[in-house]
Amino acid sequence: MTKPQPSPVRGVFWMLVTGLCFVTVTALVKYLDNAVPAAQAAFLRYVIGLVFLLPMARSLLATRMTARHWKLFGARGAVHTLGVILWFFAMTRIPIAEVTAMNYLSPVYVTLGAALFLGEKLAFRRIMAICVALAGAMIILRPGFREVNPGHLAMLATAALFACSYLFAKIVADEVAPSLVVAMLSITVTIGLAPFALAVWVTPDLWTLAICFALACFATGGHFAMTLAFRAAPLTLTQPVTFLQLVWAVTLGALVFHEPVDPVVVLGGLLILGSVIFITLREAQLKRRVVTPGVNAPKG
């Protein structure tokens, strides 16, 4: 397959589409507004989303996996399942802007987890970026100055759980095809959510099912658009565009859900996002330096 030529304009465009899709997902979850319990809403989104795996069903069934792969996929599915439930719960408890801002913590946790569990180097600049991100989270939460909502605690846990999921994905992606990684996440999370959903099951109406189908479509579309953005342009160009997700989330919350714009939340979100962009750009810079780095080459 011929590698597509880099296109900055196309990369920015697809990253804009990615942000719009993910913010739409957030808005649709907010719109559900406890029409069904959080665990059931998450289950419906994933089980309906399995329809997108049908075109690759034959190749997936023909794939042979080792016991190690099954364990990794199972562990990833378990932590991602809990993260999804908590994310859906948080959406019903705190404003969209706060969910979006705190969700930026996941890449920061991934950087920290890669250093602790995968042996990656953690240079001083990365440590400072992590500290800035955590300071941003504290600015959003403001413990002692306002009541910390259960939704905030849920988002802190969600970001950590999704980070664990990404670390499992990083390990297994070096050993199997990317399509299998995506498919197994959908399958294992659907299975993991089933008992939680059945425990609180409320018969959904057709409108709720339609919203859940839209959730699956926009979530899948967002991941697909993000893949296209990464193929079209380098991270140094596409990553800063993710800032617009926070802008759209604040605007959407104010105009559609009548949530007041909190400048402190925006400030905290910008600090977190700034640290994520710094870490991402630093990684991209290091990868461009040399094809085969020496033993003592800096890692970040």
The candidate with the shortest Cα–Cα distance to 286, out of 296, 300, 275, 272, is 300
Q: Specify the DSSP element, H or E, that contains 86.
A: helix 67-91
If you write DSSP's letter for every residue of 119-150 in order, what string do you get? -----HHHHHHHHHHHHHHHHHH-BTTB---H
The candidate with the shortest Cα–Cα distance to 110, out of 154, 169, 151, is 169
Per the CB < 8 A criterion, the answer to whether 39 and 197 are in contact is yes
Measured CA to CA, the distance from residue 141 to residue 154 in angstroms comes to 12
Q: What is the pTM of this model?
A: 0.82
Per the CB < 8 A criterion, the answer to whether 275 and 139 are in contact is no
79, with CB counted inside 10 A (0-12, 13-18, 19+), is buried
Specify the residue for token string 């057709």: 206
297, with CB counted inside 10 A (0-12, 13-18, 19+), is exposed
Measured CA to CA, the distance from residue 272 to residue 105 in angstroms comes to 7
Per the CB < 8 A criterion, the answer to whether 41 and 212 are in contact is yes
Task: Give the number of other CB atoms < 10 A from CB of residue 169.
Answer: 20
Q: Angle formed by the axes of helices 150-173 and 105-117, to 10°?
A: 50
pLDDT in tens, the chain (300 residues): 455 566 778 888 988 998 899 889 988 988 887 788 889 989 998 999 888 888 887 887 777 888 999 999 999 999 999 999 999 999 888 998 999 899 888 888 888 888 888 777 777 888 888 899 889 999 998 887 778 889 999 999 999 999 999 888 888 877 887 778 888 889 999 999 999 999 999 999 999 999 999 998 998 888 888 878 877 777 667 767 787 888 888 888 888 888 888 999 999 999 998 888 888 777 767 666 543 333 333 334
Domain positions in the chain: 8-289
